[in-house]
Amino acid sequence: MAVSIRNCPKCRTMLFSDTIQCPSCQHVLDEARHEEWSARTDGRLASSGKETACPKCGEMVRNGLVRCWKCGAFMQKQIADEYQRMQAAPQPVIYSPLPDGSSAETTTTTATAVAGDDDFEFGAGYAIREAAPPADQPPPPPTAGDEANGQTKAGRDTPPPPPDVAHSVATGGDALLQVALAEQQEELDKKRKRKKMTGPRGETSLLVFCPNGHRVEVDLKYRGMTGRCPKCKSPFFVPVPEEAPEAQAAEQQAEAKPGFGKFAHWMLDVHLHVVQPEKLKLKAGSLKADFQLFDLAFAEDELLAAAYSKKKGAAHQKSKKTAKDREALQEYLKTGGPVADAPAADKFTLTAEQVKAAAVVQPAVYAHESMFAGIPVFGEWLMAVRLPLGNDPASAKFASFPLSEFRRFVEIMRTTYGVEDLCREIDVPLEDSFTEAKCHYSDQMLKSLENLGYYQADPAFKLKLVGRKCQACGLVVSEDSRKKEKIGGANGKAIAKAKCPKCQQKFGTKSLFALEEPEKPEDDTKPESAETESAATEPPAPAVAETAKT
């Protein structure tokens, strides 16, 4: 049975989806059920067999328990009142008398038998000693705990009770309650310390994805541990942050330096869609080809979107005129002139506050809340971000991205504008995740990509076929073994109708892909003089600012 978990909107405590009231902050999650429960109980305990309904949260608790196992509330009002009375008036501390002949500097106590068969005495030469403070050091001031328990300086000097009080009597009853209260206070202090260490709400949790692609939100305290997905029960690992290598840190620092005036980051040839709701057709891919190419330039206080042609489509993407116009715009921005006078065929700007209001509309979290009814109108496996209306409220603007460009856009929004939760509610793989499987023939471990559709729709990723998977029994065969065993022919075109060697059913068309590794540079064995001579004869490479796509 699948278990659905959600967070309390007030204190972010993880709760079951059918919870009526949060046990931590008492926030009511379901008003209708809460009113029904209140009217049904009306201060009375609804008993059913061996269980009793909790008067606070309504959870069924076994008869005889003092507190509710779920919310910690007392099951009986008189016990709760007595508990509050004891908290308001704690019992005084009980002291034991000093033996006769003890000095002010050193106190020696000899344990003697009181009662019982297990009593003992210290042997000769053994004693419990308590060192007295130095003569030149004043006595320690009373602490906050001493004040709370009534143990002031005068209280410490007060003579202890008579020595004929048994130890079991002195430590029973209310003394045990004091121990329980001390443990409860210690637990509260730990929670406050943990909350202070984790920071504000945006830093207390992180998103991870299970092997099946389900999004799970976990607390930061579970880093380095494993858990189970509440949807598919698959185990997942909560990653531990790793320090970036020195080369990567230097590269990130170089990227942060402004390249063209105050605009530090650029994204080229972004698909920008201007949508008029009355003319919209709710059909998959209906807006995919209806776009205009824009360059997005990001600064800390604004965003500049510039186009070098008003034509739609990708007709001018590789034209020489576009490259010259882009260079002219970048040279103008280096001078620090007004952005309104920047040379561009079409442009608009957004302030930093407007940029922070951008939201992801595809994929949609809930189809019924989407203006496109959950239909991928911008194209399958593409992400779309709604930009603020700005100076043109008559139409809505949307930017669509494949996976690689969307990852870069999310990173720029985080580093430049501090937007941390742009993808908090959507299942988009911001990091590569893989699934491992063993080949049936060679026992080779195959590492295949998850969420394959995003990578196939992005031309920036180069994929290679590493294996096949039977659609009936899940048998995995590597591509080398498939060729060797001639399953589906030499080139695998007949793999869909080929018989699985395990279940004898049709193999199907499930393919496993991995990212193609970049080619390693060849070892340069030329001597240093030859390298210098070659570098001198080749023309210098033009300086390129941060304008390339990631």
Structure tokens belonging to residue 366: 């809930």
Report in angstroms the alpha-carbon separations of 111 from 99, 125, 127, 131. 11, 13, 8, 18
Q: Is 194 helix (H, G, I), strand (E, B) or coil?
A: helix
- Cα R_g (the chain), whole angstroms: 36
pLDDT in tens, 384-432: 999 886 555 566 889 999 999 999 999 999 999 999 888 877 888 988 8
Query: Which residues, in sequence order, are CB contacts of 417 under 8 Å at separation 6+?
Result: 300, 352, 355, 356
- Full DSSP string of 430-478: SS--EEEEE-TTT-PEEEEESSHHHHHT-TT--EEEEEEE-TTT--EEE
What domains can be seen in the chain, in order of their start residue?
Answer: 5-88 (no CATH), 201-237 (no CATH), 260-417 (2.30.29), 434-515 (no CATH)
> What are the two backbone dihedrals, phi and then psi, of residue 32, each rounded to the nearest 5 degrees?
-65, -50
pLDDT in tens, 313-348: 665 556 778 888 888 998 898 888 888 888 888 888
State the pTM of this model.
0.50
Edge to edge, the sheet with strand 463-469 lists 476-478, 463-469, 510-515
- Full DSSP string of 115-179: SSTT-----TT--EEEEPPPTTSPPPPP-HHHHHTT--HHHHHSPPPPTTS-HHHHTSTHHHHHH
Which amino acid is it at 320? K
Residue 244 has pLDDT above 60, yes or no: no
Nearest-angstrom CA–CA distance, 439 and 477: 5
pLDDT in tens, 125-140: 555 555 555 555 555 5
- In 3D space, the residue among 191, 193, 195, 224 whose CA is nearest the CA of residue 208 turns out to be 224
For residue 396, give the H/E element and its range.
strand 396-401
- In 3D space, the residue among 207, 173, 183, 195 whose CA is nearest the CA of residue 86 turns out to be 173
